[in-house]
Structure 1
Amino acid sequence: MTTATRSEFDQGIALSPAGPGRYAGELGEGWQIGGGVNGGLLLAVAGHALSLEHPEHPDPVSISGYYLSASVPGPVEVRTETVRRGRSLSTGTASLHQDGEERLRVLATYGDLDAQAGEVRTSAVPFEMPPPEECIGVEHAPKQLIEQAALLERFDLRLDPATVGWAVGAPSGNGCIQGWFRLADGREPDPLQLLLVADALPPVTFDLGLPGWAPTIELTVHLRARPAAGWLRVRHATRNLAGGYFEEDAEVWDSTGRLVAQSRQLARAPRG
């Protein structure tokens, strides 16, 4: 990617001022999964609007999105409101509207991740998996998966062979999918991209033998640090599917071995 070429991700979350606290954007065709636009991309669009509202606090620290209805490619408007503006943190809301309907409501706290880059005390360690060149690329994904997930063509995603038995009709039943992630056009990761990554892997229900679209009800992402350049190591896992819903927990580690984001979402299980 040359400096004159804007990443597809940057195009996907691009916004223009449309009045006080309002921003206009365009959801592209290439970010669809199942029946709508990917929830992580939508969270990044709303998150971008909040970054623009308080440039002194540009980075999401904690952001929660409630998905009210499916979004489709086409124009969108994001409406923001600042709830509190402090010295080190700002809190605000954002709502994404399309075709006269609210599609997503967000509540988030923003800060400056560079100001928090010092002390780290953690017992967390990166999970083990083969290097990217020994993992399974998107080019090997089942045709039917690509047909319902156009956004996979935007990714350079390499899944751990131990967690892709579902692709050949042999899901492990463990409810875990993990792999290496970067954008196909080479754009390096940043905090807004981490919002996409938190919802980028195939649903963990695939590993439970439940193929199909798993629409997100709610997604919360905690950002712990600004990611270093290079591959991201991503794991999605679930422990409980009940009443037609399941949780999906994610960890995102950067190329230096630092835990840069954690997330949990509640999603609806695929319908048979």
Structure 2
Amino acid sequence: MAEAASAPSPSRAVTGDSEFDRDTAVVRREPGVYDIDLSAGWTILGAVNGGYLLAVLGRALGDALPHPDPFTVSAHYLTASRPGRAVIRTETVRTGRTLSTGQASLFQYDDEGNEVERIRVLASYGDLAGLPDDVRTTAKPPAIPPYEQCFGPADGPDPLKGVSAITDRLLLKLDPATVGWAIGQPSGKGEMRAWFGLADGRDADPLSLLLAVDALPPTAFEMGLKGWVPTVELTTHIRHRPAPGPLRVAITTRNLAGGFLEEDAEVWDSEERLVAQSRQLARVRLA
């Protein structure tokens, strides 16, 4: 079992008043229509991170639907999002006593001012606080060395040559067993593990779990591949509201074929609970 650790932070932001909250805030223009300026602070190689986009759309759906918490969110990434103005359109598909389902699309604008759809989401929302406490599982938390024995972006070379702005907004400490790629010695295994938190100390909540499943370096790096690994589809299940404290994230890939790979992620909280799971299909460059 990994030793619990508290990520250092000179001051702790609170939920509702942090950089993540400000940068995912949406403004309701009219029922079902929301405006946002996508922040450049959550980009990789100039493209907006898919987990950040999932949180943005998740916030809009949380306002549009009668239930408070995302249970499952499935997203198809159609075109790369860029920092700047965007509009989100939501639609309620069904409302029930336990779950409500909605869909949302995020649009940006081309040089002629025409809307271009960037991402489309179908999601079901419920109330995590109302779930029963019964847990029957064979899943086990990932074994990660203590926080101080793991490595962050400042501990080695930047594989993206300083153009990954999102790293400044995160507290990531990678398991030494999964950082061979950073020194040109990838293990060949499709594995990535890390302690995860937000740089301003804000504790995790269901929306930030949507970010956490897509915030680590791609498993493709440890398989000896480099460059951008764009997400094609990402489905996330939120299983429990996380306890305060750092999260542990483990991602594995078992199959890379035809230029595409899957990434299966698990997120565990400080109380040893599995709080989120995801699977995504991503594209890789083989040459």
**RMSD across aligned positions (CA):** 1.4
- Secondary structure of the equivalent of 1:103? strand
Q: Deviations over 1:128-160 (max 9, x none)?
A: 110111100221242343523110110010000
Q: How many residues align?
A: 271
Distance in 2 between residues matched to 1:225 and 1:157, nearest whole Å: 22
Distance 2:141 2:15 in 1: 35
Q: Decide whether the 8 Å contact of 2:45 with 2:160 is kept in 1.
A: no
Q: Cα offset for 1:11?
A: 1.3
Number of the residue aligned with 1:139: 154
Three-state SS of the structure 1 residue aligned to 2:62 is helix
CA distance in 2, matches of 1:120, 1:136: 33
- The answer (yes or no) to whether the contact 1:159–1:180 under 8 Å persists in 2 is yes
Asked whether the 8 Å contact 1:46–1:96 carries over to 2, the reply is yes
The aligned residue for residue 105 of structure 2 is 95
Whichever residue aligns with residue 216 of structure 1, its letter is T
Structure 1's consecutive aligned runs of 4 or more residues displaced over 4 angstroms after TM superposition are 2-5
| Partner of residue 189 from structure 1, selected from 204, 208, 224 | 204
Match of 1:211?
Answer: 226
State which of 2, 16, 29 in structure 2 corresponds to 1:18: 29
Instruction: Name the amino acid aligned to 2:277.
Output: Q
In structure 2, the partner of 1:245 is 260
The one-letter amino acid paired with 2:135 is V
Aligned positions of 1:145-156 closer than 5 A:
145=160, 147-156=162-171
What is the letter of the counterpart of residue 131 of structure 1? P
Offset, 1:35: 4.0
Question: Counterpart of 2:268 in structure 1: which amino acid?
Answer: W
Aligned position for 1:170: 185
TM-score of the pair, normalised by structure 2: 0.91
The within-5 A match list for 1:226-241 is: 226-241=241-256
Deviation of 1:5 (Å): 8.7
The C-alpha deviation readout for 1:215-262, integer Å capped at 9, x for no partner, is 000000011100011000001110111111000110000000000000
- List alignment gaps of at least 5 residues for structure 1: none
Does structure 1 residue 270 correspond to structure 2 residue 285? Answer: yes
Work out the CA distance in 2 between the residues paired with 1:217 and 1:117.
34
- How high is the sequence identity, in percent, across the aligned residues? 57
- CA spacing shift, 1:257–1:142, aligned 2, 3 Å: same
Which residue number corresponds to residue 80 of structure 1? 90
Distance 2:202 2:174 in 1: 19
State which of 253, 259, 271 in structure 2 corresponds to 1:256: 271
Is the 2:33–2:89 contact (alpha carbons within 8 Å) kept by the matching residues of 1? yes
Is the contact between residue 95 and residue 101 of structure 2 (CA under 8 Å) also seen in structure 1? yes
Structure 1 window deviating more from structure 2 (44-53 vs 146-155): it is 146-155
Distance in 1, Cα, partners of 2:183 & 2:32: 48
Change in 2 beyond 3 A, CA 1:173/1:240: same
- State which of 41, 52, 70 in structure 1 corresponds to 2:52: 41
Deviation of 1:196 after TM superposition, in Å, equals: 0.3
The offset of 1:105, in angstroms, is 0.2
Q: Which residue of structure 2 lines up, in the alignment, with residue 104 of structure 1?
A: 119
* Structure 1 segment 43-58 matched on structure 2, within 5 A: 43-54=54-65, 56-58=66-68
* TM-score normalised according to structure 1 size: 0.96
Q: What amino acid is the match of 2:246?
A: W
In structure 2, do the counterparts of structure 1 residues 234 and 146 end up closer, same or farther at CA, with 3 Å as the change threshold? Answer: farther
